[in-house]
A and B are shown apart, each in its own frame.
Chain A
């Protein structure tokens, strides 16, 4: 048996021993996301990653939609034209929407946030923070009404003024005046 082979056997055995010994030490020093053994509270990826606020701000609105109103037809407010590309692939991907189109009307021209929130037909309002939807770190509202069509949901995306800034609003189309938006 040659010297190189004997040395190789030795280093190989040493490597296995080193792997075993350092396994726990490496995990102890690694960030949680990069630990080899890291039990999570569940296997639900949305539940796991939503604990990261930066992730939740970007993807949260779409995971909400896919959970509550999958296969929705979405219309985007005309003034969000710059964000339309991003809104489209987020909605069609994580939002599991059926379609998404750009309106020729601004959401702020047909309603206001106060008007929506005071509507007696509203059944639920989910709030949070949002980013990556045309503006960074803004409030977000997901407003649902009892008029919502469960089989064929129709939603409107847009921005509405709040104080000195804007809020990202997802609302059931039926809650808007004249039941919706032109495309």
Chain B
């Protein structure tokens, strides 16, 4: 239990220090800070794995807590106003101890064969021998989820029992905080509280959300980090209530962490940040940070994979070469961010990107129609007919997104595009993995839907909260808000 408490507190401490140093204040510090700390832990762990230094999770914990804290102390002694809230610190420590104790006491865990492969890689990381991992498993399971559980080996266990449930708690906290910061100038406190409670209620009553809260896998971690990138991106261009530096810091670290969580992350991340990259209101340095993080993390991971293949005297997989090239392309594209056409033709670029994905799917479907037919059939049975344990939830979620699209939401493309572009990408992945999706709970696409749910819910609740329920006193402010619905709708 001590290892788990120390692990989680190191993330909260490090992340809060970074986020406060970046300009966040109030509730942003513990909430956005905790997610940032989680992402920071994954990024530091990845650097340890990709470089010759030890991959010991003990070092990851130490670096996650001390590097940001050292920065925080240095800034404070340099005269920066960085307030300390001792009462909040005590509440957080007590809360973490209680939560870890509770989640360890509850014998509730879900697992599949994938879970055991994640934990195996986690043990190898803890043993500083991840380079000998199977080339059949490493490209599929990566190191993100294994890093989280590697710390358990310090206490003689194989998984951190409280980390996945804590990630689900963090999803709820982050969603609530994002809604509060985004809508507090538009809704009365009572209406906003009701909206947030409804959002939380939706998730905790969702069977698959509860399942993933205890499932040893990376889907909910991916969902959390995606919510930071997509939701944070929307807040970046639509609200003034949160420090932009803090948002970009959290988003950049989340982008870096995502690359080490799932094999298809690089593709999904570029789709998530594309609306930000072509948005006129986002500064070029901020765009550069996001694109550079994506490119560098992709190159780092794929170079490592190539080295593992070569060390085991195996040919480097085509996917590793392809994604390595993708990473280089992302870095090479940074100078293009200054092109005026990117912002003047932003709508066309986003539409073109989505059209290209559909075109790619059509081309592959013409070559191997059976893969698409079987995948659509299996997905229909899983998502609509109940074979994937979603009940009516996914159907109703799609219906809500369709209805939300009829409501004028400022910069809605930032929230809508990552959701709609996922559909062709999901079926393209079926071709890339050389096999159609299958019927049943364990199907990978069936499990991946949860990765979109928090972002989709955020979109729906923002659509519900924006518009006609305005406080009269704020009406004047509304009309001049930076992301006005009528002027910025794409």
Question: Does A127 sit at the interface, judged by CB under 8 A?
Answer: no
Looking across the interface, which residue of chain A has its beta carbon closest to that of B446?
Answer: A34
Question: Is there a chain B Cβ closer than 8 Å to A94's Cβ?
Answer: yes
**Please, how many angstroms separate the alpha-carbon atoms of A134 and B457 in the complex?**
48
Q: Which of A14, A36, A59 contacts B207 (CB 8 A)?
A: A36
Contact indicator A93/B124 (Cβ below 8 Å) = yes
- Chain B residues whose C-beta falls within 8 Å of the C-beta of A45 in the assembled complex: 109, 111, 119, 157-159, 216
Beta-carbon contact of B392 and A22 below 8 Å: yes
Q: Is A41 an interface residue, CB under 8 A from the partner?
A: yes
A interface size (C-beta, 8 A): 50
- Chain A residue contacts of B153, Cβ below 8 A: 96
- With A16-B205, A19-B207, A34-B211 as known contacts, state yes or no: A93 contacts B127, CB within 8 Å: yes
Cβ-defined partner of B120 (8 Å) among A43, A85, A94: A94
CB distance from A28 to the nearest CB of B (A): 10
- Which listed residue, B111, B112, B119, B407, touches A8 by the CB 8 Å rule? B407
**B116–A96 contact, CB under 8 A?**
no
Query: Beyond A12-B400, A43-B104, A59-B116, is A36–B393 a contact (Cβ under 8 Å)?
Result: no
Q: State whether A22 and B391 are in contact (beta carbons under 8 Å apart), knowing that A4-B406, A16-B202, A33-B110 are contacts in the complex.
A: yes
Chain B's closest residue to A44 (CB) is B157
B124 touches A42 (CB 8 A): no
Kindly supply a per-residue 1/0 record for chain A positions 135-159, scoring 1 wherever the CB is within 8 Å of any chain B CB and 0 otherwise: 0000000000000000000000000
Query: Which of B111, B211, B407 is the one whose CB lies under 8 Å from A49?
Result: B111
What is the distance, in angstroms, from B476's C-beta to the closest C-beta of chain A?
21
Whether A34 pairs with B389 at a CB distance below 8 angstroms is yes
Q: Which of B158, B201, B389, B407 contacts A5 (CB 8 A)?
A: B407
Residues of A within 8 Å of B399, CB to CB, are: 11
Bitwise, A1-37 to B at CB < 8 A (1) or not (0) is: 1101101110111111011101101110111011111
Contact B120 A90 (CB under 8 A): yes
Q: Contacts of B404 on A, CB cut-off 8 Å?
A: 4, 8
Q: Are B211 and A35 in contact (CB under 8 A)?
A: yes
Does residue B302 face the partner (Cβ distance < 8 Å to A)? Answer: no
Residues of B within 8 A of A92 (CB): 123-124, 127, 129, 132
Q: Could you tell me which residues of chain A, from 98 to 134, have a CB within 8 Å of some CB in chain B?
A: none
Measured between alpha carbons, how far is A16 from B400 in the docked complex, in Å? 12
Check B133 for interface membership: any CB of A closer than 8 A: yes
B205–A23 touching, CB < 8 Å? yes
B202:A26 contact, CB within 8 angstroms: no
Q: Which residues of B contact A37 (CB under 8 A)?
A: 108, 210
Do residues B158 and A46 form an inter-chain contact, with CB atoms below 8 A? yes
Does B312 have its Cβ within 8 Å of any Cβ on chain A?
yes
CB within 8 Å of B: which A143-177 residues = none
Which of B236-244, B341-349, B430-438, B461-469 is the interface stretch?
B461-469
**B468 cross-chain contacts in A, Cβ below 8 A:** 1-2, 5
B393 vs chain A, min Cβ distance (A): 6
Cα A22 to Cα B208 in complex, Å, equals 11
Residue B283 CB within 8 A of the other chain: no
Contacts of B205 in A (CB 8 A): 16, 19-20, 23
Is there contact, CB below 8 Å, between B202 and A12?
Answer: yes
Q: B460 contacts which chain A residues (CB < 8 A)?
A: 8, 12
Which residues in B have their C-beta under 8 angstroms from that of A11? 396, 399-400, 403
**0/1 per residue, B387-421, Cβ < 8 Å to A?**
00111110011011001101100000000000000
Q: How far is the CA of A8 from the CA of B469 in the complex (A)?
A: 14
List 26 A–B pairs whose Cβ atoms lie within 8 Å, in order of A's numbering: A1-B469, A2-B406, A4-B403, A5-B463, A5-B468, A11-B400, A15-B392, A22-B207, A22-B392, A23-B210, A26-B386, A26-B390, A33-B111, A33-B112, A35-B110, A35-B211, A36-B207, A39-B107, A45-B111, A46-B158, A59-B116, A88-B132, A89-B129, A92-B132, A93-B121, A94-B158
